[in-house]
Amino acid sequence: MKMHNLENLLLVGLDLVAMAKSAKAAGFRVYAADYFGDYDLVKICNGCRAIIKQEAGKTCGKIENRFKPKNFVDLVKAFSKEVPVDALLLSSGLDDSFEVLEELNELVPILGNKPEVFKKVRDKPEFFKELKRLNLLYPETIIVESLEDAKKAAKDIGYPVIVKPSKGFAGVGIRKALNPKELKESFEVASLIDRKVLIQEYIAGVNASISLISSANQVKVLTINEQLLGLKELGQQEPFGFCGNIVPLDVSSKTFQECHEAAEKIALHFGLLGSNGIDFILSEGGKLYVIEVNPRFQATFECIERTLNLNLIEMHVKACLNKPLPRISRKIGKYCTRLILFSKGQVKAENLTRLSYVRDVPFPEVIIEEGEPLCSVIAEAESRESSFKKALEKAEFIYRNLVRPI
């Protein structure tokens, strides 16, 4: 499939395997500028460059030490000199790196939201102001740069509060503080990641997201998704660390309509284009509190494609070119779970390439440090519980049989 002479797509960021597979199925030549450069990504792509080099017997290191957004510019520069890349598609990892996004867009035009849109939705104070104008709920939030200001903010909002770095991804550095002592500890963690720290009202409820496709004049909600955070059985060390999702999240018709209305308001107001995600909390009282916008492809990618039986790259390209979007059915006959496994110690991974349900496959015998991503697993079933159970069983099989402590 070729649209407006688009032939060569360059995918940039973290979590590119499902995107690459989808782009290939849509008929594009696919190139990837990735962090990990995993085995399955390399096999899918026409070309792949990575920030780290996976070698048997050598460590992949720690993301916190080796992840530098600027490195993606170097990877894209190398591609742009060798391959006539037509467009760049973004995944996670670069949402708050505005200068990097601008450099990337100058090298290869971004197909989707431009850097100025990222700035609008990722600038938290301005974003929340706009949500207020749109009559959308969000947790009360105060941005601080000192512990004294954090204490005052927490007192004004009322405990418990959520403490998080203003910039970051995957839930790293987020803590829940029940009292001033925990606030101090949480502030210290968050301020190591970013000097600006958010003190946020705690909303009890379900962590969820809306996945949508939008063009200049159309907004289509694809799915409402359940987010899985801080699962210790998956080796996740961060209490709010992202470790997967279940698609769809079962909600009432009323809630789905409210999600659609919120998505439409946000997408049209900020000019969102292509594939976007909106993180929110569905409170215990059934209210929708918007947390943030992810203005690029999301971790729910493969699960959405499986549950809706569609090609998300194809839809994204159509939306960006303002072509008509297909009708999305709400009748979903199956559930899809994706779990991200984290290493429970310093380990060597066995050969995971033979397992059809594994994604983000490390090269055999590489060393993975404790707390670092190991791989992902996918499972489908006719119920939410069965889907999650199947995925968890697959994860447990890998932990028991296919990783060796060092």
- Domains in the chain: ranges and CATH: 8-111 (3.40.50.20), 140-201 (3.30.1490.20), 205-405 (3.30.470.20)
Instruction: Give the residue-averaged pLDDT of 125-145.
Output: 96
**pLDDT greater than 70 at residue 339:** yes
pLDDT at position 46 is 97
Please give the C-alpha separations between residue 306 and each of 147, 222, 334, 337, in angstroms, as whole numbers.
46, 12, 9, 10
Instruction: Give the residue-averaged pLDDT of 205-232.
Output: 96
Query: What is the percent of the chain with per-residue pLDDT over 70, rounded to a whole number?
Result: 99
Query: What is the percent of the chain with per-residue pLDDT over 90, rounded to a whole number?
Result: 90
pLDDT at position 218 is 92
Cis peptide before 160 (omega within 30 of 0): yes
Q: What angle do CA 299, 337, 257 make, to 5 degrees?
A: 75
Please give the C-alpha separations between residue 358 and each of 20, 47, 70, 378, in angstroms, as whole numbers.
15, 21, 29, 7
pLDDT at position 326 is 85
Instruction: Give the residue-averaged pLDDT of 11-40.
Output: 97
pLDDT at position 224 is 97
pLDDT at position 403 is 85
**pLDDT greater than 50 at residue 2:** no
> Distance from first CA to last CA of the chain, Å, rounded?
47
Q: Per residue in 45-88, pLDDT tens?
A: 999 999 999 999 999 999 988 999 999 999 999 999 999 999 99
Instruction: Give the residue-averaged pLDDT of 266-281.
Output: 98
Strand order in the sheet with 87-90: 47-50, 29-34, 8-13, 87-90
Distant-in-sequence contacts of 294-297, Cβ < 8 A, 24+ apart: 294/92, 294/95, 294/209, 295/95, 295/112, 295/113, 295/117, 295/118, 295/121, 295/122, 296/13, 296/89, 296/90, 296/91, 296/92, 296/95, 296/112, 296/113, 297/19, 297/89, 297/90, 297/91, 297/92
Contact (CB, 8 A) for 360 and 377: no
**pLDDT greater than 60 at residue 103:** yes
pLDDT at position 1 is 39
Residue 176 region by backbone torsions, left for phi larger than 0, else alpha for psi between -120 and 50, else beta: beta
Q: What angle do CA 119, 125, 127 make, to 5 degrees?
A: 55
| Spatial distance between the Cα atoms of 268 and 26, rounded to a whole number of angstroms | 27
Q: Per residue in 298-318, pLDDT tens?
A: 999 999 999 999 999 999 999
**pLDDT greater than 50 at residue 157:** yes
Q: pTM of the entire structure?
A: 0.95
Instruction: Give the residue-averaged pLDDT of 267-283.
Output: 98
- Closest C-alpha among 30, 92, 35 to residue 61: 35
* DSSP per-residue string spanning 25-88: HTT-EEEEEESS--HHHHHHSSEEEESS---TTSB---HHHH--THHHHHHHHHHHHHS---EE
Q: 117 or 353: whose pLDDT is higher?
A: 117
pLDDT at position 4 is 60
| Spatial distance between the Cα atoms of 265 and 282, rounded to a whole number of angstroms | 18
| Spatial distance between the Cα atoms of 41 and 32, rounded to a whole number of angstroms | 8
Band (399; pLDDT cuts 50, 70, 90): very high
For the chain, the average pLDDT equals: 95
